């Protein structure tokens, strides 16, 4: 038998959102009723005064709790003294036409509704009838009104009561704390709202409820323990604030969800909290989390929880509970083959579109509708669906939501295979899952009837108990472990972005939602209607109820296609800065140690570019060109300048090297007067000067795979050339292709497999081209100013670019979606890769080490007394060369 051993009265015994005001020590006697006790017997207990009911809680745990709804009270009065027994104090007589018994015998079970008149006499031990009778009469008047007007009157009563209270400052932990702001607020938990006062000081935030029903008389949270503060929607209004904090005693994470009277109060509290010195909240941004997930540093489960959170989904609000996808469609096999694609659900389609015959019938109905049309008449997440899954773990929630009743046994969550069949075929069932299906920390406890509740029998005589699991699951713990394994599988990782597009992204609404068969009832979309503009309280209440019961679409997070995750099987195993064990979901970074080896005071004016030239696998030199028209070659092994060549009387801007078929080395230099200069290292002479562009040659690269040189220019073009080999070539034989841009080309990069070419321009545009065919794949203007440098990630899945307005952007190669955006303190000027770490040279001469997998800046060190305009790395990753506007080239040893 399920017993209520803890606190017998909780606010879940009230209607959803009902408010508990106060309670009184009383004795109660049934004058008439259906209770098995002597009618002259008085029961000790407490009378709870609530906004829509009176509840009597007997001290005798075998006696039922008695709930009398205000709407069922026909009259109430103070008993004349001569009608009382001499041993009884002031008494209140309540006449009602029906009442409810709850938890008789201390057993957790559906409520018993007594549909007959009864009289209850309450004798107050310490208070007087006059202390509560006016409040009861006021609430009884409200109960005679239509629901919307009743709620409005109750809220007026609540605000009136609240306005008479202020925070009791004797609860302050430190008398010297400085009070910052005090306001009214409600503490929100599933189906329960508890009003109180919030006080913010320079050290703590306090919540003091108006009643004695909260866990703490005053909840005290040290600002130093707060991890995050998030603005939330609550009941369709921007009035919520969720505070995530860590309990010092056991480091357990707690959540406090508050709702204020209006958005202005919420925003004022939020801003005041952020302004406190002691508050040091976590600053993980959306783009940083997306990059961590994409690169495998964040699990699918944790990333989905994060997206739910920023889309206003919270465990504290059943109307906006986190939503998770069905990812498995096999609930009948005895074993699961995780490598078999047939066990997985198609994540590119909403639940309602998985079964084609049902979808056709839904579309036929859709075509016959008048505007606004909807494809699905039921939602994928609503309070009823959440509690459908959680009724065994939180039976009190279901009793609260469904007026003291559980669902019919045949409609309950009885079997995984039955639920899956239903969401595939039923014309009104399209629900997704909840996080508990993948949460291994609770061992699947929501699947077990741990309270031993009598839920009844199904039509075939089967008694409802634990949920029937698929044959492949040994027990609930094994079930959630395998579900989690499925969620984290390579197949799901490759396809999860499709489901994110449907629920949180660009396919959530509009034309794309129509194309994707993803259209729901119009009122469930955020912003579909502004409730504050509806003056008629009955119309407003009707809309609120409709929206709450139907479910809410999450806030749209992504407006463009979500990037795909890079799964382990697709990642290039680089000789990097990671060991085999460190290449995991939380890789341990081997921090590079940079030590200055040589400093060359190389040029009379700013260095323009540095590059490397390879003679063989063991030997590399460094090239630098400067605005003084000089090219220099250095040996990073000996630290000596090996060659100095005056190539031009005009500034040199760019350089690159290649080898001819006969293994002779050639350096190509781009000049400010539009030329490409070809220099033969072996013979120490210029053997060709090519008039290549109509303006300065800003950047160069060489493709060994295609055996071409790409030169970009301020004349808004990038040109492709065959490199000069041992024989003399004509200009017509050298030219291959021209790539046109809309502005000066400032930087260029090539993917590791040499299939893609990226260019950046003066006006902030990034172009992506196919290398070989030289077709434009896309152009994106994510930057608002000149692109200083551009590069591909080592796996070539993303493009990273930086601009003169201090912005750093990562975009997905396949979709051109911006994955990450950051504004740096100083202007980023140049890029260079050392293993899986990106080196970023800035305008102040600092070299930053950035780890794209977690989007984290992990170190920086000062290199030059001026901007670092170019970075080059030897092929063995052991030496880094930097060139600066301070005219220096510096060689660094990297350990």
Do 224 and 361 belong to one domain? no
- pLDDT at res. 193: 87
Do 69 and 155 belong to one domain? yes
Rounded-to-integer distance, Cα 404 and Cα 423, Å: 27
CA-derived radius of gyration, the chain? 35
For the cut 70, the answer to whether the pLDDT of residue 278 exceeds it is yes
For the cut 90, the answer to whether the pLDDT of residue 225 exceeds it is yes
Residue 716, phi then psi, degrees to nearest 5 = 75, 20
- pLDDT at res. 287: 76
Residue 352 · residue 359 · CB < 8 Å: yes
How many residues does the structure list for the chain?
895
Residue 693 lies in a domain: no
Minimal CA–CA distance to 290: which of 305, 303, 309?
303
* Six-digit token string for 844: 């102040």
Q: Please report the DSSP string for 378-437 in residue order.
A: S-S--HHHHHHHHTTT-HHHHHHHTTT-PPPGGGS--BHHHHHHHHHH-TT----B-GGG
**How many secondary structure helices (H) and strands (E) does the chain include?**
14, 44
The 10s digit of each residue's pLDDT in 554-613 is: 999 998 899 888 775 444 333 333 322 233 333 456 677 889 999 998 899 999 999 999
Minimal CA–CA distance to 498: which of 667, 634, 300?
300
Strand partners of residue 253: 246
540 in the Ramachandran plot: left (φ > 0), alpha (ψ -120 to 50) or beta?
A: alpha
Residue 209 lies in a domain: yes
116, burial (CB in 10 Å: exposed 0-12, middle 13-18, buried 19+): exposed
DSSP secondary structure letter of residue 639 = T
- pLDDT at res. 581: 28
Do 337 and 455 belong to one domain? yes
Per DSSP (E only), the strands in 125-223 are 179-189, 192-201, 204-209, 219-222
Strand partners of residue 757: 750, 769
Rounded-to-integer distance, Cα 869 and Cα 258, Å: 50
Residue 827 · residue 846 · CB < 8 Å: no
Residue 416 lies in a domain: yes
Distances (CA, A) of 750 to 700, 781, 794: 11, 19, 10
Q: Comparing 703 with 212, which gets the higher pLDDT?
A: 703
Distances (CA, A) of 335 to 73, 331, 357, 474, 577: 59, 10, 29, 10, 39
Rounded-to-integer distance, Cα 405 and Cα 433, Å: 23
Our measurement of the distance from residue 220's CA atom to the centroid of its chain's CA atoms, rounded to an integer in Å, reads: 27
Strand partners of residue 82: none
Strand partners of residue 685: 680
Q: Of 146, 162, 178, which residue constitutes the final position of a domain? A: 162
Do 100 and 222 belong to one domain? no
- Domain count for the chain, please give it: 3
For the cut 70, the answer to whether the pLDDT of residue 84 exceeds it is no
The 10s digit of each residue's pLDDT in 560-572 is: 899 888 775 444 3
Instruction: Tell me which of 357-366, 532-541, 822-831, 879-888 is least confident.
Output: 532-541
Do 45 and 86 belong to one domain? yes
For the cut 70, the answer to whether the pLDDT of residue 35 exceeds it is no
The 10s digit of each residue's pLDDT in 762-777 is: 999 999 999 989 999 9
Residue 639 lies in a domain: no
Beta-carbon contacts of 523 under 8 Å, excluding residues fewer than 6 positions away, are 529, 543, 546, 547, 550
Give the pLDDT mean for 819-848: 93
Minimal CA–CA distance to 585: which of 344, 301, 818?
301
Residue 445 · residue 394 · CB < 8 Å: no
The 10s digit of each residue's pLDDT in 4-33 is: 444 588 889 998 888 898 889 999 998 754
Give the H or E element holding residue 871: strand 868-873
Residue 651 lies in a domain: no
Residue 254 lies in a domain: yes
Residue 872 lies in a domain: no
Do 321 and 442 belong to one domain? yes
* Six-digit token string for 606: 């700013």
- pLDDT at res. 161: 76
Strand partners of residue 635: 640
Rounded-to-integer distance, Cα 341 and Cα 330, Å: 11
Residue 256 lies in domain: 165-283
Q: Of 448, 465, 486, which residue constitutes the final position of a domain? A: 486
The 10s digit of each residue's pLDDT in 461-486 is: 899 999 999 999 999 999 999 999 99
Minimal CA–CA distance to 554: which of 257, 320, 236?
320
Do 171 and 213 belong to one domain? yes
Report the 10 Å Cβ neighbour count for 275.
Answer: 11
Rounded-to-integer distance, Cα 859 and Cα 589, Å: 12
Q: Which CATH number goes with the domain that contains 367?
A: 1.10.1540.10
Residue 525 lies in a domain: no
Distances (CA, A) of 143 to 96, 153, 718: 13, 9, 77
- pLDDT at res. 732: 53
For the cut 50, the answer to whether the pLDDT of residue 395 exceeds it is yes
Our measurement of the distance from residue 513's CA atom to the centroid of its chain's CA atoms, rounded to an integer in Å, reads: 21
DSSP secondary structure letter of residue 140 = H
- pLDDT at res. 575: 30
* Six-digit token string for 761: 């321009």
Do 146 and 178 belong to one domain? no
Distances (CA, A) of 88 to 79, 105, 198, 463, 780: 11, 27, 40, 48, 82
For the cut 90, the answer to whether the pLDDT of residue 247 exceeds it is no
Peptide bond into 367 cis (omega under 30): no
For the cut 90, the answer to whether the pLDDT of residue 787 exceeds it is yes
For the cut 80, the answer to whether the pLDDT of residue 549 exceeds it is no
Give the pLDDT mean for 38-45: 76
Tell me the longest C-alpha to C-alpha distance in the chain.
126
Rounded-to-integer distance, Cα 879 and Cα 887, Å: 20
Mean pLDDT of the chain: 88
Q: Which CATH number goes with the domain that contains 250?
A: 2.30.29.30
Q: Of 486, 516, 532, which residue constitutes the final position of a domain? A: 486
Do 476 and 359 belong to one domain? yes
Minimal CA–CA distance to 120: which of 101, 145, 103, 143?
101
Do 141 and 98 belong to one domain? yes
Instruction: Tell me which of 152-166, 250-264, 332-346, 495-509 is least confident.
Output: 152-166
The 10s digit of each residue's pLDDT in 871-895 is: 999 988 889 999 999 999 999 998 7
For the cut 80, the answer to whether the pLDDT of residue 137 exceeds it is yes
Give the pLDDT mean for 754-760: 96
439 in the Ramachandran plot: left (φ > 0), alpha (ψ -120 to 50) or beta?
A: beta
The 10s digit of each residue's pLDDT in 683-739 is: 899 988 999 999 999 999 999 999 999 999 999 999 999 987 655 656 556 889 999
Per-residue pLDDT band at 410 (split at 50, 70, 90)? very high
* Six-digit token string for 876: 């063995």
Do 348 and 392 belong to one domain? yes
Do 305 and 173 belong to one domain? no
In the numeric block, the tokens 């106060």 are attached to 22
- pLDDT at res. 432: 97
- pLDDT at res. 100: 96
pTM here?
0.81
Beta-carbon contacts of 29 under 8 Å, excluding residues fewer than 6 positions away, are 39, 40, 41, 42, 43, 120, 121, 123
């Amino acid at each position: 038998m399920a017993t209520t051993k803890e606190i017998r009265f909780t606010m879940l015994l009230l209607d959803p959102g009902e408010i508990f005001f106060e309670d009184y020590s009383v004795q109660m006697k049934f004058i008439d009723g259906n209770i098995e006790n002597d009618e002259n017997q008085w029961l000790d207990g407490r009378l709870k005064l609530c906004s829509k009911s009176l509840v009597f809680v007997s001290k005798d745990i075998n006696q039922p709790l008695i709930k009398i709804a205000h709407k069922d009270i026909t009259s109430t009065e103070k008993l004349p003294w001569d009608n009382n027994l001499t041993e009884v104090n002031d008494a209140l007589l309540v006449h009602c036409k029906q009442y409810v018994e709850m938890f008789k015998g201390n057993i957790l079970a559906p409520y018993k509704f007594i549909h007959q008149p009864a009289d209850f006499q309450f004798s107050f031990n310490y208070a007087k009838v006059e202390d509560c009778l006016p409040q009861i009469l006021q609430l009884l008047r409200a109960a005679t009104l239509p629901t919307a007007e009743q709620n409005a009157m109750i809220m007026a009563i609540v605000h009136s009561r609240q306005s008479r209270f202020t925070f009791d400052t004797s609860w302050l932990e430190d008398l010297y704390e400085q009070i910052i702001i005090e306001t009214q607020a409600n503490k929100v938990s599933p189906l329960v709202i508890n009003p109180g006062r919030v006080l913010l000081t320079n050290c703590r935030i306090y919540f003091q409820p108006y009643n004695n029903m909260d866990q703490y008389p005053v909840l005290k949270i040290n600002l130093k323990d707060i991890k995050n503060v998030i603005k939330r929607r609550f009941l369709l209004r921007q009035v919520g604030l969720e505070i995530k904090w860590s309990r010092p005693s056991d480091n357990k994470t707690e959540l406090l969800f508050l709702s204020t009277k209006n958005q202005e109060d919420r925003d004022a509290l939020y801003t005041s909290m952020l302004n406190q010195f002691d508050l040091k909240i976590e600053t993980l941004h959306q783009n940083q989390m997306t990059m961590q997930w994409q690169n495998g540093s964040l699990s699918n489960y944790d990333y989905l929880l994060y997206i739910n959170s920023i889309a206003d989904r919270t465990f504290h609000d059943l109307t906006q509970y986190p939503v998770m996808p069905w990812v498995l469609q096999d609930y009948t096999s005895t074993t699961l083959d995780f490598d078999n694609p047939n066990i997985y659900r198609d994540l590119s389609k909403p639940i309602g579109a998985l079964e084609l015959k049902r979808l056709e019938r839904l579309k036929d109905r859709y075509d016959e509708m008048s505007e606004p049309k909807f494809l699905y008449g039921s939602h994928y997440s609503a309070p009823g669906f959440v509690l459908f899954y959680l009724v065994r773990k939180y039976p009190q929630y279901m009793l609260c939501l469904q007026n003291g009743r559980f669902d019919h046994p045949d409609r309950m969550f009885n079997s995984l295979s039955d639920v899956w069949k239903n969401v595939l075929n039923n014309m009104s069932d399209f629900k997704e899952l909840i996080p508990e299906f993948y949460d291994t920390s609770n061992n699947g406890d929501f699947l077990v009837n741990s309270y031993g509740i009598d839920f009844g029998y199904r039509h075939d005589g089967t008694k409802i108990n634990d949920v029937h699991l698929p044959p492949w699951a040994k027990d609930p713990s094994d079930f959630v472990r395998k579900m989690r394994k499925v969620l984290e599988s390579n197949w799901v990782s490759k396809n999860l972005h499709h489901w994110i597009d449907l629920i949180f992204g660009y396919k959530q609404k509009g034309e794309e939602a129509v194309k994707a068969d993803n259209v729901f009832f119009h009122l469930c979309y955020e912003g579909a209607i502004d409730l504050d503009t509806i003056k008629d309280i009955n119309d407003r209440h009707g809309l609120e109820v409709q929206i709450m019961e139907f479910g809410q679409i999450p806030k749209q997070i992504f407006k463009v296609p979500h990037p795909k995750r890079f799964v382990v099987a697709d990642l290039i195993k680089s000789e990097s800065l990671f060991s085999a064990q460190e290449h995991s979901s939380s890789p341990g970074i081997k921090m590079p140690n940079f030590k200055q080896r040589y400093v060359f005071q190389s040029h009379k004016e700013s260095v323009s570019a540095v590059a490397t030239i390879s003679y063989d696998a063991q030997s590399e030199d460094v090239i630098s060109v400067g605005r003084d028209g000089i090219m220099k070659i250095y040996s990073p092994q000996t630290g000596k300048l090996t060659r100095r060549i005056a190539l031009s009387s005009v500034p040199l801007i760019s350089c690159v090297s290649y080898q001819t078929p006969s293994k002779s080395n050639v350096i190509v230099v781009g000049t400010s007067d539009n030329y490409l200069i070809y220099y033969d290292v072996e013979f120490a002479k210029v053997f060709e000067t090519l008039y290549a562009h109509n303006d300065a040659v800003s950047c160069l690269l060489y493709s060994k795979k295609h055996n071409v040189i790409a030169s970009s220019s301020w004349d808004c073009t990038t040109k492709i050339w065959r490199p000069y080999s041992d024989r003399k070539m004509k200009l017509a034989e050298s030219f291959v292709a021209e790539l046109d841009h809309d502005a000066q080309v400032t930087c260029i990069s090539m993917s590791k497999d040499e299939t893609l070419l990226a260019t950046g321009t003066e006006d902030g545009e990034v172009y992506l081209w196919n290398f070989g065919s030289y077709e434009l794949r896309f152009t994106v203007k994510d930057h608002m100013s000149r692109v200083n440098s551009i590069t591909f990630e080592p796996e070539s899945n993303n493009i990273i670019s930086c601009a003169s307005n201090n912005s750093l952007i990562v975009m997905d190669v396949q979709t051109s979606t911006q994955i990450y955006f950051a504004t740096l303190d100083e202007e980023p000027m140049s890029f260079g890769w050392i293993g899986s770490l990106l080196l970023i040279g800035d305008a102040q001469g600092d070299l930053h080490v950035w780890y794209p997998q977690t989007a984290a800046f992990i170190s920086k060190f000062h290199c030059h007394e001026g901007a670092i305009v170019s970075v080059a790395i030897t092929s063995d990753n052991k030496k880094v060369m930097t060139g600066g506007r301070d005219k220096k080239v510096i060689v660094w040893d990297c350990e």
